[in-house]
Amino acid sequence: MVLMAARLLAQRKDRLAGQVKFMFQPAEEGPGGAGPMIEEGVLEAPHVDAALAIHVWNDLPLGTIGVRPGPIMASAGELYFTIIGKGGHGAAPHQAVDPVVTAAQLILALQTVVSRQVDPIKSAVITIASIHAGKVFNIIPNEVELLGTLRSFDAELRDTIVEQIERVARGVTEAMGASYRFEHRSLYPATVNDAAMAALVKEAAATVVGPERVIHHDQSMGAEDMSLVLEQVPGCYFLIGSSNVDRGLTNPHHGPLFDFDEDALVVGTEVIVRAVERYLGQG
């Protein structure tokens, strides 16, 4: 979409009261290419005044556009735990400090951080998605490793939750006679759209698909390293509907059956072009 938009805008450059820079962002899923590109000067020479980003979205049908001002994607962080016990034989658990049981207690206890310690009006997610312990059926291991993710829309809330996670980990492991190591690695901040830029995208999208098909989209707990760009300049990250029930193209992202209607690429390209023309036409 970006490449085709570049071609079309180059053909119409006499209409543009300014310059357009096209950012081909690598490694969006990790480690995140936007950060290194910013460090290497992508927002300078010439200085960037505003930014647009686009993502195909199978939660929306073909021919619709999802936009919202303010936070649209959550911040993302990685959680790393090592639960340290004392190994032993499974037939004599009283002679060991079982890190597997301790880890199980911790996983369950962490579910209370959001449900009982976070304002229900606010949004956050803690998910433990990986557990590694031992290799033998009858031997209690010395350690267990847990990996997870933390998502929220509010940096202050995120920091508070990290403190709460550590407090829970400390309490559970002390109660079980174990110890722990914990690290939170912040990946991306929340993706926050500028209100004026979101309004501009809505206007441009309405000329492509009609105003009734421009949707005020819900927030997503997914994360996006475009957020790093939007911390530096006002902009809008928006979503292009790409599912098609009639063609069976409805499977979600990040799954082995994911596919999308490629006609969405045409729609997305046209929205980009018209949004850029509107923005630079104001100047």
Provide the domain limits for residue 19: 2-73+191-281
Note whether 179 and 201 are same-domain residues.
no
- At 138, the pLDDT band (50, 70, 90 cuts) reads very high
Alpha helices in the chain (DSSP H): 2-11, 34-39, 99-117, 155-176, 195-209, 226-230, 263-281
For residue 97, what is the DSSP state?
B
CATH number reported for the structural domain that contains residue 274 in this entry: 3.40.630.10
Residues 270 and 242 in one domain: yes
Among residues 188, 213, 248, the one where a domain terminates is 188
Whole-number pLDDT of residue 283: 41
Asked whether residue 38 falls in the same domain as residue 169, the answer is no
Same domain, 32 and 79: no
Instruction: Using DSSP bridges, classify how beta strands 88-89 and 139-140 pair: parallel, antiparallel or unpaired.
Output: antiparallel
Counting Cβ atoms within 10 Å, is residue 80 exposed (0-12), middle (13-18) or buried (19+)? middle
Taking the C-alpha atoms of residue 269 and residue 158, their distance in angstroms, rounded to an integer, is 35
> Same domain for 234 and 134?
no
Please tell me whether residues 242 and 224 are part of one structural domain. Answer: yes
pLDDT at 27 over 80: no
Given 188, 207, 228, which residue is the final one in a domain?
188
> Do residues 50 and 92 share a domain?
no
pTM summary value: 0.89
Q: In this structure, what CATH number is given to the domain that contains residue 134? A: 3.30.70.360
- What does the CA dihedral 35, 39, 42, 46 come to, rounded to 10 degrees? 150
Q: CA separation (Å) from 136 to 88, 90, 140? A: 11, 10, 8
Which pLDDT score, from 0 to 100, does residue 38 have?
95
Question: For the residues 50-62, what does the mean pLDDT come to?
Answer: 96
- 127: tokens are 């998910």
Answer yes or no: are the C-beta atoms of 261 and 62 closer than 8 Å. yes
Instruction: Note the Cα 159 to chain centre separation in Å.
Output: 17
Q: 188, 204, 231 — which closes off a domain?
A: 188
**Helix spans in 177-248 (H):** 195-209, 226-230
Residue located via tokens 């912040």: 186
**In this predicted model, what pLDDT tens digit does every residue of 105-134 receive, in sequence order?**
999 999 999 999 999 999 999 999 999 999
- Using DSSP's 3-state secondary structure scheme, residue 180 falls into strand
Q: Of 234, 164, 157, give the one whose Cα is nearest residue 193.
A: 234
124 and 167 housed in the same domain:
yes
Nearest to 124 by CA among 169, 185, 76: 76
Digit-coded pLDDT (tens) for 4-13? 999 999 999 9
DSSP summary character for residue 163: H
The reported pLDDT for the residue numbered 164 is 98
- pLDDT, average across residues 240-262: 94
Do 9 and 91 lie in one domain? The reply is no
Q: Name the DSSP class of 94.
A: G
Summarize pLDDT for 166-196 with one digit per residue, the tens. 999 999 999 999 999 999 999 999 999 999 9
Per DSSP, 98 falls in state -
Mean pLDDT computed over every residue of the chain: 95
C-alpha angle 207-213-219 in degrees, rounded to nearest 5: 115
Task: State whether 153 and 201 are in the same domain.
Answer: no
